[in-house]
Each structure stands twice: as structure tokens, then as C-alpha cells.
Amino acid sequence: MNFPNAMNEVESFGLGCVVAGGVRYYVDEIIDLYKLPALICSLFGLSIGKPSNKAEIK
């Protein structure tokens, strides 16, 4: 699954998402926090949740 498809899937469930692109700057901290196996490198994060308000299309 590629990134745009992941965002579309999240939104199809009525949820919202925000990209955390700075994850690549904190690789060691992310590995320690989530106890990831060796040779795993995170490039981005995707926060998923229910929006508190509906965005209007302009």
C-alpha cells in the first residue's frame, strides 16, 4: 500500500490523518519508543483520528 492510498483508506472511514514527515530526523528515538526490530527505518508517521470539526471546501 502506498502513502496516498493509506490516506484515502483512512478518510473513507470518516477519519482524518496528518503526516509527520520529521520522523526521519528521530530514527533512534522512534526505534526505542516502539521497540522496532533491527534494520527498520521509519520515513514518515501518519497520525490517524476523528476530526473535531468538518473542514469546508473552499
pLDDT digits (tens, 9 = 90+) for 10-23: 989 989 888 888 88
Beta bridge partners of 46: 19
pLDDT score, position 1: 52
pLDDT tens, position by position, 34-44: 898 988 877 78
Pairing of strands 45-49, 16-20: antiparallel
What average pLDDT score do residues 37-56 get? 83
- Would you give the DSSP letter of residue 19? E
pLDDT tens, position by position, 23-34: 888 888 988 998
**Residues near 20 by Cβ (< 8 Å), separated by ≥ 6?**
44, 45, 46, 47
Q: pTM score, two decimals?
A: 0.63
**Mean pLDDT of all residues belonging to the chain:** 85
